[in-house]
């Protein structure tokens, strides 16, 4: 089973709202990732969690706040977003941060900021 699940599938939020994106995997993977993807462009890395600790933050604005409650779950808390933050947000996981780096992606959350 190589499934990564994400909820919600779609999210529309105003610039003053607070919302959260959720990601879950039950493959025993120890690295989890958040990516942002604009249409027809490659994913852009936002955060990496390695063994439930934040190991990479790609200079993401503080209006995006990641959280890793346990080894299976990854959240992305959103607050005071801008319209340019509208994108597909992808979660991914890999078995071991130091292995062959095969990453398995979830279906994504399509976020629209109005």
Q: Is the peptide bond before 8 cis (omega within 30 degrees of 0)?
A: yes
Candidate list 21, 36, 108, 111; residue touching another protein; CB under 8 A: 108
Residue 34 Cβ vs another protein, minimum distance, rounded to whole Å: 12
Candidate list 7, 18, 38, 101; residue touching another protein; CB under 8 A: 101
Binding residues among 47-66 for another protein as defined by CB under 8 A: 48, 50-51, 55-56
Cβ neighbours around 55 below 10 Å, total: 11
Closest CB to another protein among residues 18, 102: 102
| Cα 32 to Cα 104: distance, rounded to the nearest angstrom | 9
H-type alpha helices, 1-114: none
| Cα 35 to Cα 25: distance, rounded to the nearest angstrom | 16
Binding mask 3-42 for another protein (x = CB under 8 A): -x-x------------------------x-x------xxx
Provide the residue count of the chain. Answer: 114
The tokens describing 26, both together, are 């039950």
- Residue 89, beta-bridge partner list: 36, 109
Residue 95 Cβ vs another protein, minimum distance, rounded to whole Å: 12
Contact footprint for another protein (CB under 8 A): 2, 4, 6, 31, 33, 40-43, 45, 48, 50-51, 55-56, 88, 90, 92, 97-98, 100-108, 110
């Amino acid at each position: 089973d190589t499934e990564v699940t994400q909820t919600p599938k779609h999210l529309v939020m105003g610039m003053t709202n607070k919302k959260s994106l959720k990601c879950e995997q039950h493959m025993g993977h120890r690295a989890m990732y958040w990516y942002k993807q604009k249409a027809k462009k490659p994913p852009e890395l936002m955060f990496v969690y390695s063994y439930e600790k934040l190991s990479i933050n790609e200079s993401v604005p503080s209006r995006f706040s990641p959280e890793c409650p346990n080894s299976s779950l990854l959240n992305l808390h959103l607050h005071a977003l801008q319209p340019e933050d509208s994108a597909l947000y992808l979660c991914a996981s890999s078995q071991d941060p130091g292995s062959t780096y095969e990453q398995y992606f979830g279906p994504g959350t399509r976020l629209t900021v109005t």
